[in-house]
Amino acid sequence: MSHRIAVVGGGPAGLTFARVLHRHDRPVTVLERDPGPDARPPGGTLDLHDKLGQLALDKAGLLAEFRALSRPEGQAMRILDVDGTVLRDWRPRPDEQANPEIDRGQLRDLLLGPLDVRWGRGVAEVVPGTRDGVLVRFADGRQETFDLVVGADGAWSRVRPALSSVRPHYTGVTLVESSLDDVDTRHPDLARLIGDGSVAVYGVNRAIVAQRNSGGHVKVYAQFRAPLDWHTDLERHLGLNRRAPLSPGLSPGRDGGRDAGLDPGLGRGLGRGLDLADVEAVRSSLLALFDGWAAPVLGLLRHGTAFVVRPLYVLPVSHTWAHVPGVTLLGDAAHLMPPLGVGANLAMLEGAELAESVAACGPGDPDEAVRAFEEHMWARAGRWAKMTAAGLERLVSPDPADALALFDEVQPS
């Protein structure tokens, strides 16, 4: 009889695991809490590395389809000084396939294919070691048992507590995400600023990054170091003071920086709590935080359609657990790290490797294969976690030259 295998989470890790098992004619059930594939925005774009994410897609038999969808030109990267000076402008060769970009939604649809996904099946708890196998309790009160449960359910995994009591901790860096739609038509100047790929501007303990997706959609990320409760008192936590408002029509920084004052609407949040649901208050506060930066760069914030606050959490660099038969973890559930282009790639490769190991066991007990997989995953993920933690320290640091030096090490100009 086939083993009863479930993967919790319908992200890149869980779907890659399931798709590779499907390729080996092994049944697997995907348990996803979202009610459907389009229940919420899928997120931004991913660069899939040739020896990580692309290798995983090759194991799933999907590499050719990925290359037909991906955007090699999206590998382009431009770095500006806060005054708008271009410091680096790297453009990929026409045949460059090291890290092509693909929208998360396109990748999800590619991986879904023929998979058996149980939508709207949020997991509340996983209990290993029962008489009938690993018990999965669902949020709606139902329950089911499996021989192997793989947790690929992200940072706040409901599977992880079955293996580890460790919880993610805040890095000290927060992202505020915004979006631009139809950028080439509605904001051609910003489209030229971003180019075919990404543009990044690094200042003292803060940065603005914009990344092109397909269809003229752009994701913008304002990044800064602050306490987790920064929005409760902008003056104390971010140094944003209320000053005399500017004359109508002027913008922050045009008259020489912070001492010139702030936009007329900035009084709503400065020096007291900021309502994160108030789009215009968040926009004004961000413009104040980046006051003095070049006007085209601030345009990325001025024209954003919404703002979503995303504090960055991580798991300890050396996170491991005592092996428990019947349960394991992949991706962010196992080794949450800063989002520097590695996490999804690692998660997909782990999903593919674990699936191949389980498939190779045939009707035999896959426990030893899972144990060996964990040992390999911990060693590799630990190296990447250490590098990405150091990378975040350099990208959002007191010295913007650290960010530029990191870029030169990764992608020489």
Q: What does the pLDDT look like over 196-234, one tens digit per residue?
A: 999 999 999 999 999 999 999 999 999 999 999 999 999
Does 104 belong to an annotated binding site? yes
Which residue would you say has higher pLDDT here, 302 or 362?
302
Nearest in space to 238 (alpha carbons), one of 284, 301, 295, 185: 284
Token pair for 398: 């007191």
User: How does residue 95 score in pLDDT terms, banded at 50, 70 and 90?
Assistant: confident
Find out whether 332 is annotated in a ligand binding site: yes
Q: Tokens in use for 354?
A: 């674990």
Q: Does domain 5-74+99-168+315-394 fall into CATH 3.50.50.60?
A: yes
Residue 291 labeled ligand binder:
no
How many angstroms separate the CA atoms of 34 and 166, rounded?
A: 25
| Residue carrying structure tokens 């590695």 | 342
| Numbered ranges of CATH 3.50.50.60 in the chain | 5-74+99-168+315-394, 170-313
Task: Please state, rounded to an integer, the average pLDDT across all residues of the chain.
Answer: 91
**Are the beta carbons of 126 and 149 closer than 8 angstroms?**
yes
What pLDDT, on the 0 to 100 scale, is given for residue 233? Answer: 95
- Sequence-distant (6+) residues with CB within 8 A of 193 are 199, 210, 296, 297, 299, 300
Contact 199, 221 (CB under 8 A): no
Q: Does residue 294 or residue 413 have the better pLDDT?
A: 294
Instruction: Please list the helix, strand and coil fractions of the chain in percent, rounded to the nearest 5, in that order.
Output: 35, 25, 40
- The reply, when asked if residue 40 is annotated as ligand binding, is yes
Mean pLDDT of 96-111: 94
Helix (H, G, I), strand (E, B) or coil at 171: strand
pLDDT over 60 at 341, yes or no: yes
pLDDT score at 357: 97
Q: Decide: 319 and 334 in contact? Cβ < 8 Å.
A: yes
State residue 41's pLDDT score. 85
Q: Is pLDDT above 90 for 387?
A: yes
Look at strands 45-47 and 101-103 and give their pairing. antiparallel
What is the average per-residue pLDDT within 324-341? Answer: 97
What's domain 170-313's architecture? 3-Layer(bba) Sandwich (3.50)
pLDDT score of 258: 28
